[in-house]
């Protein structure tokens, strides 16, 4: 399943090439950004023994959107970035993400969507390398200021350092959105995924924990989320997420709750300020730590990110950003990581 989805994803990249033959109103936007950063926990270790270093980083993104056929749109997004450390060169990394989205309106109230996406992370020394992606499709229904979207899909996760920790899944999604008044929007969503792993499950008996050679690990993952956004003099966005993982493998059951708040405001002299706070709490069903993909990114950390940016003309932007990552609540280990970045960016369309 995972190899099939990879092939589909890469073949799909060829779709935008012949746009000129059938597309109308093609629009292209992009960003090129480069800068320097200081990281006080390059290896992302727990405890007080942290290694700090300076690094150079870059980020590029391209988005191509076009109207196709009648009432149809295609959007292709590609992002790529890299980090290169001064001393800790083994932590150099590249990150690439691709997405292809097609939407078709049949009537003002009924539409179809289909999406392919892929994300790849590669390090010089592979500790957290992965490749993930998937395909999904569904219908959306729009009634005045209310939208309902329902879909199904399949996803894969390939963990490069330990292939037996890889998985594939089938999932269903339901999304609701409501524009209560102009600039105020509420939403909710539910996701159910059944994940099959390439490794055997673990079982607990009176003699301890052992690997069951006759059965593979299988999980059921559920996510419930709610969000609100308001666009006024200050842009405010907030979300609450509850996720639960049930597994036939000992040590893999958990529940996680998270709150995410983002505020962005324009200041004087073309300055913009942004602040993001993310807090999470996790409860594990068994006294065993998490599986192999827990430390891939900072997704499961408490975090505070603040940035100050200034635009120059229509295309240039300078930004200074501070990030703090702490161990999520409910986990006894001690984790802390801080970064400070200074970057310049160019936006084009």
Q: Does pLDDT of 107 surpass 60?
A: yes
- Band of the pLDDT at 73, cuts 50, 70, 90? very high
- Band of the pLDDT at 128, cuts 50, 70, 90? confident
What's domain 32-59+79-348's architecture?
Beta Barrel (2.40)
In the chain, the percentage of residues whose pLDDT exceeds 90 is 66
Q: What is the DSSP letter of 7?
A: H
Question: Residue 160 and residue 5: Cα distance in Å, rounded?
Answer: 17
Q: Are residues 195 and 221 in contact, defined by beta-carbon separation less than 8 angstroms?
A: yes
> What pLDDT is stored for residue 19 in this prediction?
46
Collapsed DSSP state (helix, strand, coil) of residue 331: coil
Flag the least confident range among 73-82, 127-136, 202-211, 309-318.
202-211
Across 10-18, average pLDDT: 45
CA dihedral 7, 192, 197, 77 (to 10 degrees): 30
Q: Does pLDDT of 205 surpass 90?
A: no
Q: What are phi and psi of 294, to 5 degrees?
A: -65, -40
Question: Residue 299 and residue 288: Cα distance in Å, rounded?
Answer: 20
Q: What is the DSSP letter of 87?
A: S
Mean pLDDT in the chain? 88
Which helix (H) or strand (E) covers residue 12, if one does? helix 2-12
Q: Does pLDDT of 1 surpass 80?
A: no
Q: Does pLDDT of 10 surpass 50?
A: no
- Band of the pLDDT at 129, cuts 50, 70, 90? confident
Residues 6+ apart with CB under 8 A from 128: 121, 161, 295, 296, 297
Question: Residue 30 and residue 78: Cα distance in Å, rounded?
Answer: 9
**Domain residues of the chain, as ranges?**
32-59+79-348
In the chain, the percentage of residues whose pLDDT exceeds 70 is 88
The answer to whether the Cα torsion of 45, 50, 53, 58 is positive or negative is positive
Based on the number of CB atoms within 10 Å of its own CB, is 7 exposed (0-12), middle (13-18) or buried (19 or more)?
exposed
Q: Percentage helix, strand, coil, to 5, in the chain? A: 10, 70, 20
Q: Does pLDDT of 108 surpass 70?
A: yes
Which helix (H) or strand (E) covers residue 20, if one does? helix 19-22
Question: Residue 301 and residue 48: Cα distance in Å, rounded?
Answer: 17
Q: Does pLDDT of 8 surpass 70?
A: no
Question: Residue 106 and residue 164: Cα distance in Å, rounded?
Answer: 43
Question: Any idea how long the chain is?
Answer: 349
Q: Which of 22-26, 155-159, 318-322 has the highest mean pLDDT?
A: 318-322
Q: What is the pTM of this model?
A: 0.84
Q: Are residues 92 and 84 in contact, defined by beta-carbon separation less than 8 angstroms?
A: yes
Question: Residue 105 and residue 141: Cα distance in Å, rounded?
Answer: 10
């Amino acid at each position: 399943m995972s190899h099939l989805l990879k092939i589909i994803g890469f073949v799909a990249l060829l779709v935008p090439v012949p746009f000129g033959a059938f597309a109308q109103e093609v629009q292209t936007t992009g960003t090129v950004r480069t800068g320097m950063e200081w990281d006080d926990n390059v290896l992302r270790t727990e405890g007080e023994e942290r290694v700090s270093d300076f690094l150079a980083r870059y980020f590029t993104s391209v988005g191509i959107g076009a109207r196709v056929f009648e009432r149809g749109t295609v959007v292709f997004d590609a992002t790529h970035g890299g980090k290169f450390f001064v001393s800790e060169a083994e932590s150099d990394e590249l990150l690439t993400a691709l997405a292809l989205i097609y939407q078709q309106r049949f009537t003002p109230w009924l539409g179809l969507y289909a999406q392919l996406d892929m994300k790849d992370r590669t390090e010089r020394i592979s500790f957290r390398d992965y490749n993930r992606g998937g395909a999904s499709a569904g219908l959306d229904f729009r009634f005045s200021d209310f939208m309902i979207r329902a879909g199904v899909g399949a996803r894969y996760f390939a963990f490069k350092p330990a292939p037996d920790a890889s998985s594939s899944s089938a999932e269903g999604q339901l999304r609701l959105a409501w524009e209560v008044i102009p600039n105020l929007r509420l939403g909710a969503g539910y996701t159910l995924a059944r994940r099959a792993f390439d490794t055997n499950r673990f079982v607990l008996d009176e003699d301890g924990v052992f690997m069951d050679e006759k059965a593979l690990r299988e999980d059921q993952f559920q996510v419930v989320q709610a969000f609100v956004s308001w666009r006024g003099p200050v842009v405010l966005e907030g979300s609450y997420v509850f996720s639960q993982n049930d597994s036939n493998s000992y040590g893999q059951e958990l529940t996680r709750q998270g709150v995410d708040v983002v505020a962005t405001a324009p200041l004087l002299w073309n300055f913009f300020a942004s602040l993001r706070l993310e807090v999470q709490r996790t409860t594990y069903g068994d006294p065993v730590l998490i599986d192999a993909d827990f430390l891939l990114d900072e997704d499961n950390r408490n975090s505070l990110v603040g940035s100050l940016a200034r635009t120059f003309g229509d295309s240039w932007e300078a930004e200074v950003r501070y990030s703090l990552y702490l161990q999520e609540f409910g986990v006894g280990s001690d984790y802390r990581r801080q970064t400070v970045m200074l970057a310049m960016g160019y936006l084009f369309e």
